[in-house]
Structures are given as structure tokens and as C-alpha cells.
């Protein structure tokens, strides 16, 4: 069990669901270091003097190496306790620590133990490179969903979801998502799960672009205009949970340039005076470039991540998502769809989540 818990700790450290907690200092301060480090001048540094306006970046590349044993090698308690569990900040710390961290920890423990106990697990036939680390939420990459048996049909609907979570070869939203939902009702899925999963009760979920897609797929918005076949088992969609979703590409926020980005880029720690150059989002700005169809960690501060913010900065989000399809953003407008519903038509229960600090998608859009 010691090694089992060490694996859990290392997983929480390397792949947290919430990738960052933003805190801003209100006054100048001095940060003492537990162990001196060598500066660029060769002199040892035992403390760091900072002003409240400075941003400090530490290189912790060495901790990314998958080595759970490091949690077992020291029997001494650390001189500085960090967070509420395992000297990790996965659940934050102090008065703002996650109150449900015990339950949140029990979930991966129980799930992992059950899988290891009931299933025979081995590396993929094509090697460990087939295993992809999924950043920023519980989202299956297309490589994983294809391995599960999802069938991807050709569609002239949305072209290449360049701003979506995964931008793979001809990655077309929402047909790929529809295929994934339909797969849940297939005999292959029933066989794979031993019939223990109930595909008649599905909740669609996503954030930002993913939240928009969950609303589109759950309500078949724009399907007729784009020639997209709806979900085969539409009545199985029992609800939609969208976190700060985009809802309308015609929103002024996505149409007008935002230079500099201001607080819009705060979620990925971009300076408020940041202006992203086109070269910083290459090759992802070009859907015909094979390099634009990959998705890999680290999530923050990569050209793929910057692409959405570049689109908002230039006011070209609609062009990035729908360029070359002959479709306008109004086709997939959630507000327009809801306003035009007849009294006889209905929608699944929809739960929208938004916070006052969400700058990447304005409250007006959600």
C-alpha cells in the first residue's frame, strides 16, 4: 500500500485537475529558501527578495520524471509542511484548502484499486507513447476514444476545431463528440464494460469551447445547416453542465480585437500588456500543417494554448473555428437556438457555471 499511495501522490503532483492557483502579493516580501541554490553568478542564494509586481518562474522540470519512489525515500518530515496532503498543493493550502480533499483522495484510491484488482493491465502494443497525459480536465483524446472503438465519419460540418482541446488530423467538432456518445449505446461498449454502465443516463460536460460543444451536441444546434446527423439516442442526454462556455461566436467579445489582452490572458498567467505575435502560435494557426494536429503537455504557455487567446486578441475566433466551411457563427449560436424554440420543444436541464475571475470567456457570453 505504501507504493500504491506513492503512485497516487506522484499522479496528483504531475497531473492535477486544476493546473494553477493564482495569487497576487499585495506588498514586497522576502522568500526564504530551505536549501540554498546557485545563482547565475555562481554565488549561493538563500533567500529571494521580490516586489509585489514581479512574477517568479521556477524550473521544476526534474520533478516531472515519473518516479513515485521519491515519496518513499525520505523518512524525515519536511521542515516546511505544504498543503493538506502529501506536501502537495493539489488541494491548495491554508484557509482556502479544499474542504473535500479526503473524499477527493479516496476516489482515485478506490478507482485505481478496483481496476488493478479486477483487470489485467499491460502497456499498449505500440508502446508507451500511445498513452497520452490529458491536461486541464477529464477529457479523452481522440487517440484514446478511437482505441475504445469510436467511429469517425467524414463530415463537411465544422472543419478543424483548431481551438478545441485536441487538434488532431481532421478533428471535426461536433461529429467526433456525437460518435463518442453513440459509442456508449453500442454492443462494443456494453461488452467492454460487462453491462455495468448505464448508457441511458448521460450528462454532457465541458468548459470554454468544450462547454459550447456540449450545448451544441446536447441540443443538436446547427446540425441541419451543417448536415450533421444528431445523436442516435438523444433521450439519453439527461443534462448538460457547461463551465464558462462560449455560446455565441457573434458576441462582440469574439469579434473585436483585444489589444493588449488585459485580464483575458490571466488564466494562463499572461501579462496584461501582452500582445501575441502570429509566430508565437505557429504551426497551430495553419490547419493544413500536420504539426497543428497534435496535443501534448505541458498545457500552459505553448503555441497551441496561446491560439485561443490570439484569436480573441485579433477578433478572429469565428474564422479560426469555421474558416473554409461556408458556415457562420450564428449557425451554432446557443442563444439564437433557445430563443427560436417552439413551446412544444424542450431542452435537457442545463447548468451553467461561471466565476467573476473568468476572463477568457466573459460572463455576457455565458
Same domain, 150 and 299: yes
Same domain, 175 and 221: yes
Judge whether 75 lies within some domain. Answer: yes
Q: Which residue has the higher pLDDT, 310 or 157?
A: 310
Rounded to 10°, the helix 209-219/175-183 angle is 60
Of 78-87, 96-105, 218-227, 329-338, where does mean pLDDT reach its minimum?
Answer: 78-87
Of 15-29, 140-154, 344-358, where does mean pLDDT reach its minimum?
Answer: 140-154
| Domain final position from 99, 118, 137 | 118
Reported as a single tens digit per residue, the pLDDT across 171-202 is: 355 777 888 888 888 888 888 888 888 888 88
- Let me know: does 303 contact 281? Beta carbons within 8 Å: yes
**How much is the pLDDT for 349?**
93
Would the pLDDT of 96 be above 60?
A: yes
Q: For residues 88-108, give the mean pLDDT.
A: 87
Same domain, 31 and 84: yes
Specify which of 128-142, 213-227, 313-327 reaches the highest per-range mean pLDDT: 213-227
Q: For residues 144-172, give the mean pLDDT.
A: 32
Q: How far is it, in rounded angstroms, from Cα 57 to Cα 263?
A: 19
What are the distances in angstroms from CA 66 to CA 6, 58, 70, 71, 203? 11, 19, 10, 11, 33
Domain that holds residue 79: 2-118
Q: For residues 31-47, give the mean pLDDT.
A: 84
Q: For residues 91-108, give the mean pLDDT.
A: 88
**How much is the pLDDT for 215?**
92
Q: Classify the phi-psi angles of 318: left when phi > 0, otherwise alpha if psi is within -120 to 50, otherwise beta.
A: alpha
Q: For residues 7-31, give the mean pLDDT.
A: 78
Same domain, 41 and 189: no
Same domain, 234 and 299: yes
Q: How far is it, in rounded angstroms, from Cα 162 to Cα 165?
A: 8
Share of the chain above pLDDT 90, in %: 7
Would the pLDDT of 76 be above 50?
A: yes
Same domain, 193 and 332: yes
Bridge partners, 351 (sequence order): 241
Per-residue 3-state assignment (H helix, E strand, C coil) for 118-162: HCCCCCCCCCHHHCCCCCCCCCCCHHHHHHHCCCCCCCCCCCCCC
Q: For residues 339-356, give the mean pLDDT.
A: 86
Q: How many residues does the chain have?
A: 366
Same domain, 313 and 274: yes
Same domain, 32 and 97: yes
Q: Give residue 257's pLDDT band: very low, low, confident or very high (50, 70, 90).
A: very high
- Number of independent structural domains in the chain: 2
Judge whether 358 lies within some domain. Answer: no
The reply to whether omega before 298 is within 30° of 0 (cis) is yes
Same domain, 165 and 298: yes
Same domain, 249 and 347: yes
Judge whether 364 lies within some domain. Answer: no
Would the pLDDT of 240 be above 90?
A: yes
Same domain, 145 and 106: no
Specify which of 63-72, 87-96, 100-109 reaches the highest per-range mean pLDDT: 100-109
Cα atoms in the 13 Å half-sphere on the side-chain side of 337? 23
Same domain, 209 and 97: no
- Residue 257 sits in a domain whose CATH number is 3.40.50
Amino acid at each position: 500500500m505504501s507504493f500504491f499511495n506513492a503512485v497516487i501522490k506522484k499522479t496528483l503532483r504531475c497531473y492535477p485537475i486544476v493546473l494553477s492557483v493564482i495569487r497576487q502579493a499585495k506588498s514586497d516580501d522576502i522568500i526564504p529558501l530551505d536549501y540554498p541554490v546557485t545563482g547565475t553568478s555562481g554565488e549561493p542564494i538563500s533567500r529571494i527578495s521580490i516586489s509585489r509586481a514581479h512574477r517568479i518562474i521556477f524550473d521544476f522540470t526534474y520533478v516531472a520524471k515519473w518516479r513515485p519512489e521519491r515519496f518513499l525515500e525520505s523518512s524525515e518530515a519536511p521542515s516546511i509542511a505544504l498543503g493538506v496532503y502529501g506536501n502537495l498543493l493539489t488541494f491548495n493550502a491554508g484557509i482556502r484548502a479544499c474542504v473535500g480533499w479526503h473524499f477527493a483522495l479516496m476516489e482515485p484510491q478506490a478507482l485505481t484499486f478496483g481496476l488493478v484488482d479486477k483487470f489485467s493491465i499491460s502497456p499498449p502494443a505500440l508502446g508507451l507513447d500511445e498513452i497520452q497525459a490529458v491536461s486541464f480536465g477529464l477529457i479523452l483524446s481522440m487517440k484514446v476514444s478511437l482505441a475504445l472503438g469510436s467511429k469517425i465519419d467524414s463530415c463537411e460540418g465544422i472543419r478543424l476545431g483548431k481551438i478545441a482541446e485536441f487538434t488532431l488530423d481532421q478533428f471535426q467538432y461536433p461529429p467526433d463528440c456525437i460518435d463518442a456518445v453513440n459509442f456508449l449505446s453500442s454492443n462494443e461498449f456494453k461488452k467492454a464494460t460487462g453491462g455495468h454502465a448505464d448508457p441511458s443516463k448521460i450528462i454532457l460536460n465541458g468548459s470554454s469551447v468544450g462547454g459550447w460543444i456540449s450545448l451544441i451536441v446536447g441540443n443538436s444546434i446547427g446540425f441541419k445547416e451543417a448536415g450533421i446527423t444528431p445523436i442516435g439516442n438523444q433521450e439519453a442526454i439527461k443534462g448538460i453542465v457547461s463551465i464558462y462556455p462560449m455560446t455565441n461566436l457573434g458576441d462582440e467579445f469574439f469579434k473585436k480585437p483585444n489589444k493588449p489582452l488585459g485580464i483575458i490572458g490571466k488564466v494562463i498567467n499572461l501579462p496584461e500588456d501582452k500582445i501575441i505575435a502570429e509566430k508565437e502560435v505557429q504551426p497551430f494557426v495553419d490547419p493544413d500543417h500536420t504539426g497543428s494536429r497534435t496535443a501534448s503537455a505541458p498545457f500552459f504557455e505553448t503555441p497551441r494554448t496561446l491560439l485561443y487567446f490570439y484569436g480573441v486578441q485579433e477578433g478572429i475566433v469565428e474564422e479560426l473555428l469555421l474558416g473554409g466551411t461556408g458556415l457562420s457563427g450564428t449557425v451554432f449560436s446557443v442563444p439564437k437556438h433557445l430563443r427560436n424554440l417552439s413551446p412544444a420543444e424542450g431542452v435537457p436541464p442545463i447548468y451553467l457555471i461561471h466565476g467573476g475571475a473568468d476572463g477568457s470567456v466573459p460572463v455576457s457570453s455565458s
